[in-house]
């Protein structure tokens, strides 16, 4: 089997694996990885009310240390296919660019890790000095309930233990090697609800307008920043995303007003401390306004992978191949790394994210070669 990351990416792009469809992508990885001695398991998870989703776990070697590559083969829909320069599932190269839905997010990243593993095995008698595994889900871009969370638990139940993980999500901003994600902010949603008393606008003395109250409370919450940031994180941010009274009339004072908000929070906070901070600010400003907050359950806690030999090995591999010193960042949205961090230290490093989820998602062919070389150097250092 060829260790050519361009051919591997192209073949994966030709599998139309829009969430929750497998589209042939996992079958293809199964064939490639079993071909070089990985034991491959394909597991389907179900949940009432959701589509069944197929996942893949492949491992070679029985010993520690155990390095896991994680990712997803599912992709977001291509949108208007006619708007693409080449077909979103054609896997064609044009002017040095490989086009296709999932090229950077993240079939390309998976293909580079597979190519690096194949090359490493070929150079080391077919076996790693430890273990390499691939934990690949088909449920990352959707609601993510039949994917990584269950696959990690399934693996743990079978006695699998991981020492480190690289998630091949597109972590770089402009060039391969400019950024490693070493953590992510947490995310928490809530709704601020103010109760009033409805009535005729001409007789406001008989009513109690919740719009006045909610405006005052929103201002109080936003009067100061949540915090000023920490050693590895930007300041936490609370953003109101919607304010509603649902009032279709012009002459009725409404009975209730609601304001939804999201908080992206750093390691100064837990969900519990955040909730009490917001409730304190609202409470202090309430002055008779009747309010409550509904907090939504969140599985997106903040996490940080501490600097150390593993992060250093990746940084040095990047420097060796590209001459760049990557920024260690905790910016951006959440990813499946938030689940993996409960099992082992995890970093995210893949292709350049610029075109992800866009029409004409694409990657320079040269980036696939560069990323493969970096993963290849990492394997060498890891098993030294």
The catalytic residue positions are: 74, 140
Nearer to Zn ion, 164 or 181 (CB): 181
Least distance between Zn ion and beta carbon 72 (Å): 6
Least distance between Zn ion and beta carbon 319 (Å): 25
Query: Does the N-terminal peptide bond of residue 264 adopt cis geometry, omega within 30 degrees of 0?
Result: no
Least distance between Zn ion and beta carbon 18 (Å): 13
- CA of residue 103 relative to chain centroid, distance: 16
Which position's Cβ is nearest Zn ion?
Answer: 105
Contact range with Zn ion by CB under 5 A, out of 98-106, 125-133, 157-165, 247-255: 98-106
DSSP annotation of 234: P
**CB-side neighbour CA atoms (13 Å) of 56:** 28
Q: Where are the beta strands (DSSP E) in the chain?
A: 39-45, 53-60, 66-72, 93-94, 97-99, 131-137, 164-167, 179-181, 183-184, 186-195, 199-200, 237-244, 252-253, 256-265, 290-295, 303-304, 327-329, 346-348, 362-364
Helix axes 108-123, 365-382, angle to 10 degrees: 50
Nearer to Zn ion, 106 or 113 (CB): 106
* Residue 300, C-beta contacts closer than 8 angstroms, at least 6 positions apart: 184, 186, 187, 188, 334, 338
Q: How far apart are CA 384 and CA 380, in angstroms?
A: 6
Least distance between Zn ion and beta carbon 352 (Å): 13
Least distance between Zn ion and beta carbon 304 (Å): 20
Closest CA to 236 of 247, 228, 244, 248: 228
Nearer to Zn ion, 131 or 363 (CB): 363
Binding mask 157-186 for Zn ion (x = CB under 5 A): ------------x-----------------
Contact range with Zn ion by CB under 5 A, out of 13-21, 106-114, 222-230, 375-383: 106-114
Query: Binder to Zn ion among 105, 267, 301, 336 (CB under 5 A)?
Result: 105
Nearer to Zn ion, 267 or 336 (CB): 336
Contact range with Zn ion by CB under 5 A, out of 80-88, 105-113, 285-293, 342-350: 105-113
Query: Binder to Zn ion among 60, 106, 151, 217 (CB under 5 A)?
Result: 106
Note the residues at the interface with Zn ion (CB under 5 A). Answer: 105-106, 169
């Amino acid at each position: 089997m060829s260790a050519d990351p361009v051919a591997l990416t192209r073949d994966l792009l030709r599998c139309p694996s829009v969430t929750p469809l497998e589209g042939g992508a996992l079958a293809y990885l199964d064939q490639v990885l079993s071909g070089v001695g990985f034991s491959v398991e394909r597991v389907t998870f179900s949940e009432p009310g959701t589509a069944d989703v197929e996942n893949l776990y492949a491992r070679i070697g029985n010993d520690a240390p155990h390095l896991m590559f994680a990712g997803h083969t599912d992709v977001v829909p291509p949108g208007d296919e006619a708007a693409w320069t080449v077909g979103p599932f054609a896997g064609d190269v044009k002017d040095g660019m490989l086009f296709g839905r999932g090229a950077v997010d993240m079939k390309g990243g998976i293909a580079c890790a597979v190519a690096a593993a194949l090359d490493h095995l070929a150079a080391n008698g077919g076996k790693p000095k430890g273990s390499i595994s691939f934990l690949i889900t088909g449920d990352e871009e959707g609601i993510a309930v039949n994917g990584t969370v269950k696959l990690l638990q399934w693996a743990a139940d079978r006695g699998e233990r991981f020492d480190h993980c690289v998630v091949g999500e597109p972590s770089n901003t402009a060039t391969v090697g400019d950024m490693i994600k070493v953590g992510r902010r947490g995310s928490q949603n809530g709704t601020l609800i103010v109760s009033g008393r409805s009535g005729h606008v001409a007789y406001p003395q008989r009513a109690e307008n919740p719009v006045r109250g909610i405006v005052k409370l929103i201002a109080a919450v936003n009067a100061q920043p949540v915090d000023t940031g920490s050693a590895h994180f930007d300041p936490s941010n609370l953003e109101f995303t919607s304010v509603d009274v649902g009032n279709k009339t012009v002459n009725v004072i409404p009975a209730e007003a609601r304001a939804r908000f999201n908080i992206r929070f750093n390691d100064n906070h837990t969900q519990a401390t955040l909730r009490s901070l917001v409730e304190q600010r609202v409470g202090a400003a309430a002055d008779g306004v009747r309010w409550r907050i509904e907090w939504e359950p969140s599985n997106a806690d903040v996490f940080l992978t501490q600097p150390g030999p593993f992060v250093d090995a990746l940084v040095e591999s990047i420097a060796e191949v590209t001459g760049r010193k990557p920024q260690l960042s905790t910016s951006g949205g959440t990813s499946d790394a938030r689940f993996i961090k409960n099992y082992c230290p995890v970093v995210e490093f893949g292709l350049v994210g610029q075109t992800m989820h866009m029409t004409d998602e694409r990657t320079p062919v040269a980036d696939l070669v560069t990323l493969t070389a970096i993963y290849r150097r990492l394997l060498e250092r890891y098993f030294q």
